[in-house]
Every structure is written in structure tokens, then in C-alpha cells.
Amino acid sequence: MKIEEVKSTTKTQRIAAHSHIKGLGLDEAGFAIQTSSGLVGQEHAREAAGIVVEMIRSKKMSGRAVLLGGPPGTGKTAISLAIAQELGNKVPFCPMVGSEVYSTEIKKTEVLMENFRRAIGLRIKETKEVYEGEVTELTPVETENPMGGYGKTVSHVVIGLKTAKGTKQLKLDPSIYESLQKEKVETGDVIYIESSSGAVKRQGRSDTFATEFDLEAEEYVPLPKGEVHKKKEVIQDVTLHDLDVANAKPQGGQDIISMMGQLMKPKKTEITDKLRKEINKVVNKYIDQGIAELVPGVLFIDEVHMLDIECFTYLHRALESTIAPIVIFATNRGKCTIRGTEDMVSPHGIPLDLLDRLMIIRTLPYSQEEMQQIIRIRAQTEDISVSEESLAKLASIGVKSTLRYAVQLLTPCSLLAKINAKESIGDDDIQEINELFFDAKASAKILADQDDKYMK
């Protein structure tokens, strides 16, 4: 008798620094709830972000910029991600870091422009003729291979589609059979086939089969109403960057020379301004005709003080463009020199003329109680059990050093508790781990005390 262990099919997901954030946590009136959606405290900043979200939804915010300014570890990135969550997955959100612009392959301005275009969505509405219904039969009809040999080829496919109003039998091209196989279509699935292109889209399993016990969590959809053959509005979401890339690649043939040409190309190619202008013309034409609508998304630039004076002047022009996304900057610097200049000192390292255009949101350091709540949320996210006394101890460590350091201690402490065969983290585990690792302030103190022992 053979017994094998198999791995669980449940997907394990990595827990990131901001996995616990689900939204801004505001009530109906737009006031921040003290602890909600993974965010704690920062009521003023969250309420201001809520107003920004409303402006984005009503499409009155395009071309404006917001600056989140505050000390490290006060939730600037968390708030920007919460804004993205509030807007939903249909609104493009493109995060980047200031230092990303210093790529060796393409110009700084090209990196900025590329990310600007990534943050602008285009929703295209098309009316297509489609055959839609639940698959009642799917039979490939085979014939002898015309090229000779023993194998048989599929000459056509007979498919039966059923809707609430009636049924139809279709005879399809063998190329459509391949798409049916790729989509893993079986009888009982609800699909639609575009009559012009022959593209097949599987929408889910018909809800008449919902009582079946299936290992895979299936999405059940109702039986389509109306006729099998009908006109259907199909909505596609693309970003302007997708259009740029699609048009920038030369459509080479299948011969070996063009294949080699594509392989020999460097990884990144710059997209010319001329091509972008042409695409903008076409996009504007579609918008005027009512085929498409613009969805200005959010471009989030963290560590904005890393950009230099050239990038800031470029941002000026980009923000004034007719199609510009909402730009959210974040920085933890106070007064500092603007990068790329020698003596220009400015708040947050941003030139004063750009600061004038920004709506500035301040984030403030957390109190000990707020730190305790944040650590509790992180412990739940990482599935770590901690007693209230231990949470209070971690929060007091957070006040002395930083919140980030206190959160970092959670996982090592839980490992130590496991080694000591304990269910939850105790004070002694935190004490031991805190002695094993140093926070920035403790490390700096040791450096100062033992200054003569280190190399200068």
C-alpha cells in the first residue's frame, strides 16, 4: 500500500510591509475612525486623503499634486496605498521611488514619462457581435490528415450554446477549437465567442451546477438571458503606456532576420515624443466620439527628494499636460539641498515653485497607544499570538527607538517563543531579542562610545 504526502493546494501569500491596509477607514461623513481598515491614528492626514479620493472620483483632481510630508515611519506609504485601495482596481495606480529615474539605459525624463503614462487609464467601450451561452455539447470533427501520415486533424468543431431564450448549434473553425482548449472550456461552462475575431472568453461555470462539490473554487455565473447571437458591449481597460509599447515595437515578419533583430535589441527602448503625440491624437479622437473615456490614475513617487532639479522642471510641464494623472509625492526630509544644485536649500528638497502647486498633507509621529494598536494589527496579519503586556512592552521599545524597529522584532520573538515551546510571545522573549539586536540609536551610542576602535 503506497501512501504519499502531497503539498496543500491553498496558495501561501507573502506578507508585505503593508499587507494589512485595506482602505482609508473613513465613515460616511468622511471622518476617520480611530482604528479601521488597517490604519491607526493620523486622523487629519486620512481625512485629507479622503477628500483627495473624492476629487479623483469626480475627475476634478487631474493635473494636481499632493505631498505627504512627515518623519520616517509615520504611515506616508500606507496612506498612499490606502488611497489606491479606496479607488479600486479599475483606477491605475503606479508606485515608484525617486531614485528609479537614474537608470543606466534610458533618460531620467523618459522614466518619469513612462510612469506618467502607466498611471493614465483608457476605458474602451466596444459593441461586438457575440455568441453567448452555456455549452451543451462540444464535439471536434476529425478528418484524414491532408498531408498524409497516420494522424488525424480537426476539420471543424460543433458546439451547442444554450441561453434562457433558446439554443443554437454552431460549426466553428479549428483555430477556435485551440482557443477553446486554452480556456479549458467544458460542457456546462458559460462562454462567449466574438463573431468577427473568433476570440473565446470563458465567463465561469453555469450556476445550475453550483451544487456540485468541486475542489477548485469555481466562479458560478447565471445562464445568459436573450438570444444566443446578440450584440454585447465589451469594456477593455488599458493604460497609455500599454498603447505606447504596442505601437513602439516594429511588427516584424516571421522570417529569421526579423526574429534576430528582435533578439538583438537592447532590453529597453525609448519611446519617441512623436509617437506619443500620435497616440494622444488617436486617443482624443476616440474620446470625442464617445468610444473611450480617460481614467486618470495615481502616480505615487516616494522619496521625492531623490529627484534632481532637471526632473522637477520636467514635472512642471508634465503636470500641466491635458492628460495628466494625479501625482502623490512622499518625503521624510526637512529642509535640505535640492539635488543637482549646490546651494539651493528648500523644504523637503523640493523647489519652491513646485511646492506652490502641491496640496501638502502632514503625517505626525504615533503615540505609544497607537503604536500598540499597529503592532497588534501586524501580529494578526502575520498570525503571531502576543499577550497585551508584551504588546505594551513592544510599544515602549517603539517609542524609544522607532515603530519600524518594534514591528521588525515581532517575527524573531515568535521564533524564539516557538523554540521555547510557548504558545505566545512573552516579555522575556522580547527582552532577549532586544538584547541580541540593536536599533539605530543604540548602535549610534556604541559607535560614539567606542569611536577610537573603528577605522576613520
- Facing residues of 55 across strands? none
256 has pLDDT over 50: yes
Considering Cα of 299, then 304, then 307, then 309, what sign does the dihedral take?
positive
Locate 75 and state its grid cell. Answer: 504611515
Alpha carbon of 354 to those of 133, 177, 303, 322, 360: distances in Å? 55, 57, 16, 18, 11
pLDDT (0 to 100) of residue 301: 92
206-237 pLDDT, tens per residue?
777 666 555 455 677 777 777 777 777 777 78
What is the three-class DSSP state of 105? coil
- Asked if the structure places residue 254 within a domain, the reply is no
pLDDT (0 to 100) of residue 123: 86
**Domain of residue 180, CATH code:** 2.40.50.360
- Asked if the structure places residue 243 within a domain, the reply is no
Q: In terms of DSSP H, where are the helices of 138-255?
A: 174-182, 240-248
**Residue that finishes a domain, picked among 196, 220, 237:** 237
Pairwise CA distance, residues 110 & 347, whole Å: 26
| Range of lowest pLDDT (87-91, 150-154, 422-426) | 150-154
pLDDT (0 to 100) of residue 261: 56
Same domain for 77 and 177: no
How many independent structural domains does the chain possess? 3
**Domain of residue 113, CATH code:** 3.40.50.300
Query: What domain range includes position 412?
Result: 368-451
- Facing residues of 330 across strands? 68
Average pLDDT over residues 251-260: 55
Half-sphere exposure of 321 (CA within 13 A, CB side): 18
Same domain for 394 and 380: yes
174 has pLDDT over 70: yes
Same domain for 226 and 134: yes
Pairwise CA distance, residues 16 & 14, whole Å: 6
Average pLDDT over residues 367-373: 88
How large a percentage of the chain has pLDDT more than 90?
Answer: 5
Locate 328 and state its grid cell. Answer: 502623490
**Residue that finishes a domain, picked among 217, 237, 257:** 237
When pLDDT is cut at 50, 70 and 90, the band that residue 329 belongs to is: very high
- Asked if the structure places residue 412 within a domain, the reply is yes
Same domain for 212 and 168: yes
Query: How would you label 116-149 residue by residue, b for 16+ Cβ within 10 Å and e otherwise?
Result: bbbbbbbeeeeeeebbbbbbeebebeeeeeeeee
pLDDT (0 to 100) of residue 337: 92
Average pLDDT, the chain: 81
Same domain for 97 and 130: no
Contacts for 269 with CB less than 8 Å, ≥ 6 apart: 248
383-395 pLDDT, tens per residue?
888 888 888 888 8
Contact status, residue 34 vs residue 40, Cβ threshold 8 Å = yes
What is the three-class DSSP state of 8? coil
440-455 pLDDT, tens per residue?
888 888 888 888 888 8
Pairwise CA distance, residues 118 & 111, whole Å: 11
Which run of H or E residues covers position 87?
A: helix 76-87
When pLDDT is cut at 50, 70 and 90, the band that residue 67 belongs to is: very high
Alpha carbon of 60 to those of 52, 121, 161, 295: distances in Å? 9, 16, 45, 12
Strands 167-172 and 152-162: antiparallel
318 has pLDDT over 70: yes
Contact status, residue 256 vs residue 250, Cβ threshold 8 Å = no
27 has pLDDT over 80: yes
pLDDT (0 to 100) of residue 11: 47
Considering Cα of 236, then 239, then 241, then 244, what sign does the dihedral take?
positive
Average pLDDT over residues 301-319: 89
118-130 pLDDT, tens per residue?
888 888 887 777 8
154 has pLDDT over 60: yes
Same domain for 78 and 42: yes
Which run of H or E residues covers position 202?
A: strand 200-206
Pairwise CA distance, residues 68 & 433, whole Å: 33
Pairwise CA distance, residues 141 & 147, whole Å: 17
Helix %, strand %, coil % of the chain (to 5): 40, 25, 35
248 has pLDDT over 80: no
Same domain for 319 and 379: no
**Residue that finishes a domain, picked among 237, 252, 267:** 237
- Asked if the structure places residue 263 within a domain, the reply is no
Same domain for 144 and 96: no
Contacts for 287 with CB less than 8 Å, ≥ 6 apart: 293, 294
> What pTM was computed for the model?
0.70
- Asked if the structure places residue 339 within a domain, the reply is yes
pLDDT (0 to 100) of residue 150: 66
**Domain of residue 405, CATH code:** 1.10.8.60
- Residue 441 CB neighbour total at 10 angstroms: 11
